[in-house]
């Protein structure tokens, strides 16, 4: 959690934007969706970010997003009212199967097969994922993965404790994955399940970096 104690040093080091994922507009719904009773704490932390940037004249963009579900239906306006005064922009994201990891969403929510990770509208979707070409994610364990919803490290391409970020961005595993995306050769990857909204068996790019899915 981005507590003031943790965030201060990162902001002072030059952080220029931060985005919070708050998937409910009430304390009760937040607990059901996130599994923790931290709604009020998260709101206070976001308010602190706004207060700290203003007090110290820091250029820091503050954003928040929400993925509506049946549990939180109608709560988007509530969240807007709470966070609007303290943030710069908002993002109401469509429900997806989360990179092929949550196919069960097809049975409980309205999933648009052309909605990639909730970030692309139907007319924007071209059948290709842009992520491997312009961003990557560093896991808490220090691995570099090509996808923000790679929960099991199936798309990890490097151990950043052993390889620099620059080298990892250009390494063989990352380059080959980009080539597979261009060629639409994604069978056996969670990318295939994400783009195709299916639930086929998937294997990790580098087995020793991965964590097995729970059966």
Judge whether residue 140 has pLDDT over 90. Answer: no
Among residues 170, 142, 182, 174, which one has the least CA distance to residue 157? 174
Judge whether residue 29 has pLDDT over 70. Answer: yes
Distance (Å, rounded) from C-alpha 42 to C-alpha 211?
A: 29
Q: Are residues 89 and 124 in the same domain?
A: no
3-class state of residue 22 by DSSP: coil
Check if the beta carbon of residue 20 is closer than 8 Å to that of residue 2: yes
Judge whether residue 3 has pLDDT over 60. Answer: yes
Rounded to whole angstroms, what are the CA distances from 45 to 38, 53, 62, 92, 110? 10, 13, 11, 20, 31
Q: Out of 64, 93, 122, pick the residue that ends a domain.
A: 93
Among residues 119, 108, 106, 64, which one has the least CA distance to residue 86? 64
Q: Are residues 105 and 188 in the same domain?
A: yes
Check if the beta carbon of residue 196 is closer than 8 Å to that of residue 103: no
Check if the beta carbon of residue 11 is closer than 8 Å to that of residue 58: yes
**Burial (CB count within 10 angstroms: exposed 0-12, middle 13-18, buried 19+), residue 52:** middle
Residues in the chain: 215
Q: And the tokens for 75? A: 């709560």
Confidence band (pLDDT; 50, 70, 90) for 215?
A: very low
Q: What pLDDT, in 10s, does the model give residues 193-212?
A: 888 777 888 999 999 999 76
- Looking at residue 179, its pLDDT comes to 97
Q: Are residues 63 and 31 in the same domain?
A: yes
- Looking at residue 82, its pLDDT comes to 98
Q: Out of 54, 69, 93, pick the residue that ends a domain.
A: 93
Judge whether residue 22 has pLDDT over 90. Answer: yes
Mean pLDDT (whole number) for 134-158 = 92
Q: Are residues 43 and 79 in the same domain?
A: yes
Q: Out of 44, 61, 93, pick the residue that ends a domain.
A: 93
Q: Are residues 14 and 81 in the same domain?
A: yes
Q: Are residues 57 and 80 in the same domain?
A: yes
Q: Are residues 204 and 100 in the same domain?
A: yes
Q: Are residues 74 and 155 in the same domain?
A: no
3-class state of residue 205 by DSSP: coil
Query: What's the chain's average pLDDT?
Result: 87
Distance (Å, rounded) from C-alpha 85 to C-alpha 107?
A: 36
Structural domain harbouring 49: 1-93
Q: Based on the structure, what is the number of domains in the chain?
A: 2
Confidence band (pLDDT; 50, 70, 90) for 112?
A: low
Q: Are residues 137 and 211 in the same domain?
A: yes
Q: What pLDDT, in 10s, does the model give residues 73-111?
A: 899 999 999 999 999 999 887 776 666 666 666 665 656
More confident residue, 82 or 119: 82
Up-side HSE of residue 9: CA atoms within 13 Å toward CB?
A: 2
Percent of the chain with pLDDT over 90: 61
Q: Are residues 141 and 87 in the same domain?
A: no
Q: Are residues 17 and 68 in the same domain?
A: yes
């Amino acid at each position: 959690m981005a507590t003031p104690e943790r965030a201060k040093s990162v902001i002072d080091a030059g952080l220029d934007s931060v985005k919070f994922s708050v998937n409910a507009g009430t304390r009760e719904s937040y607990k059901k969706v996130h599994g923790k009773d931290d709604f009020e704490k998260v709101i206070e932390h976001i308010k602190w970010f706004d207060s700290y940037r203003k007090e110290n004249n820091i250029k820091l963009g503050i954003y928040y997003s929400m993925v509506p579900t049946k549990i939180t239906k109608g709560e988007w306006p509530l969240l807007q009212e709470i966070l609007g005064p303290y943030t710069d922009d908002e993002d109401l994201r469509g429900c997806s199967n989360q990179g092929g990891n949550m196919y069960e969403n097809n049975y409980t929510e309205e999933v648009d097969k052309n909605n990639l990770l909730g970030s692309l509208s139907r007319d924007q979707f071209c059948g290709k994922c842009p992520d491997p070409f312009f961003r990557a994610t560093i896991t808490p364990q220090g691995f570099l993965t090509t996808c923000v919803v790679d929960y099991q490290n199936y798309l990890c391409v490097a151990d950043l404790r052993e390889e620099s970020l620059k080298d990892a961005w250009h390494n063989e595993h990352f380059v080959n994955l980009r080539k597979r995306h261009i060629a639409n050769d994604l069978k056996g990857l969670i990318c295939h399940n994400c783009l195709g909204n299916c639930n086929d068996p998937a294997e990790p790019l580098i087995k020793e970096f991965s964590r097995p899915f729970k059966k």
